[in-house]
Structure 1
């Protein structure tokens, strides 16, 4: 019997049900166990990481790129389970990332618990299954300033007709403040009236802090953005640091309250 793998933050599942996602309502799986481990992460999108075969040797290990400082510490800080599934109901929709999908429920053959996903990723690297590029390192062919993400947005806009909101641009500039000038040019290219100055990062940073404190499970990458903003706009450090210290104190108070409960 051919098998495939599914990674999940949920443990103890005996049957996987189709869930609505980008491409439809499916159970997702992959024939590559290391990818199932990656997909079991607690958070992350292409603003903070890239994964793929980017080198000339396409049959080499998967390459995992950290696009903002400290993102992997947030993404992979959870435990997870890797489920082994029968392949028979799965088909390839060519979604990328070596994913296959099933339109029907799938019974679990076995479950492998992973206490720490990041430790699992590091183990996979030692086994030659994945190559990790921690920020700011990148494979050959990637733009050193990280502006590859802007090329992706152009493709999303021109090919898939995606519209980007002010919030989308706020998050882009918040995580990649070094791209401010290029982001302004991109917004103008798209016909949006969004334009950013360095001081705008203060309000955006404060907004992300408020979002994080309202919902601790929805990662806002506060620590990552703090490092980036302070690195590229040192004149903002006094105000950004004041907000950051407020955030750290608020997190400590929330954690203390949770312990009391």
Structure 2
């Protein structure tokens, strides 16, 4: 079984879209719990919640990695990131029995991609992505590293990375708006 998350209702056939990799793909996981993070994009939600208008391509925010045992590890890079991004957000997890693999290597455990349309064979409505993520944590399917538990070494990496991301995002004002709002102390001395 292949899983794909979306906020779009009533999809019957998943269609390839231009991806972060610059080619049209549909992304899937063979683990349902791994697609929960795609029910909301922190950048897009923050901008909408704060009234920042943007009609360009939204930068993606991938707040996760993988533990040594293969479980997805969602990381809070700023205080209350998980709740701010997912609480109250609903969406859909679409199922596909099979896909035509694109051959594109995404280097994400349990992920697959298709460059061909994929018929949907089932769908699950997720009323609250935050609650679904917490339930997956309780079931031991994912790990959540909360901001206040972040090791010092990771905090240092986070600060360096956020500063670099901000400087490299000159053509993405929505991303800079998100960074300024969620990481004010890290970028307070940087200017546009």
- CA distance in structure 1 between the partners assigned to 2:25 and 2:113 by the alignment: 6
Query: Aligned residue for 1:89?
Result: 100
Please say if residues 90 and 128 of structure 2, whose CA atoms lie closer than 8 Å, have aligned partners that are also in contact.
yes
The root-mean-square deviation of aligned C-alpha atoms, in Å, is: 3.1
User: By how many angstroms is 1:15 displaced?
Assistant: 1.1
- CA distance in structure 1 between the partners assigned to 2:32 and 2:9 by the alignment: 16
Q: Which has the larger radius of gyration?
A: 1
SS of 1:89's equivalent in the other structure is coil
Query: Aligned residue for 2:6?
Result: 8
Task: Identify the structure with bigger relative contact order (alpha carbons < 8 Å, sequence gap 6+).
Answer: 2
Query: Aligned residue for 2:74?
Result: 64
Deviations 1:10-50 (A, max 9, x none): 23222111112222112211112111122122x22599762
Query: Aligned residue for 1:36?
Result: 35
- What is the count of residue pairs matched by the alignment? 172
TM-score (norm 2): 0.73
Q: How does 1:1-261 map to 2 (within 5 A)?
A: 3-23=1-21, 24-41=23-40, 43-44=41-42, 50-53=63-66, 58-76=68-86, 77-98=88-109, 99-138=111-150, 141-143=153-155, 146-150=158-162, 153=165, 163-165=168-170, 167=173, 169=176, 171-180=178-187, 184=190, 194=191
- CA distance in structure 1 between the partners assigned to 2:163 and 2:140 by the alignment: 30
User: By how many angstroms is 1:104 displaced?
Assistant: 1.1
Moved more, 121-130 or 22-31: 22-31
User: By how many angstroms is 1:85 displaced?
Assistant: 0.8
- CA distance in structure 1 between the partners assigned to 2:108 and 2:152 by the alignment: 20
Structure 2 stretches of 5 or more lacking a match?
44-58
Q: 1:119 and 1:103, CA in 2 relative to 1: closer, same or farther beyond 3 A? A: same
Please say if residues 49 and 68 of structure 1, whose CA atoms lie closer than 8 Å, have aligned partners that are also in contact.
no
Please say if residues 42 and 85 of structure 2, whose CA atoms lie closer than 8 Å, have aligned partners that are also in contact.
yes
Deviations 1:102-158 (A, max 9, x none): 11111111111111111110110011111112323225741268315247649xx9x
Deviations 1:75-103 (A, max 9, x none): 21211111111333024523343332111
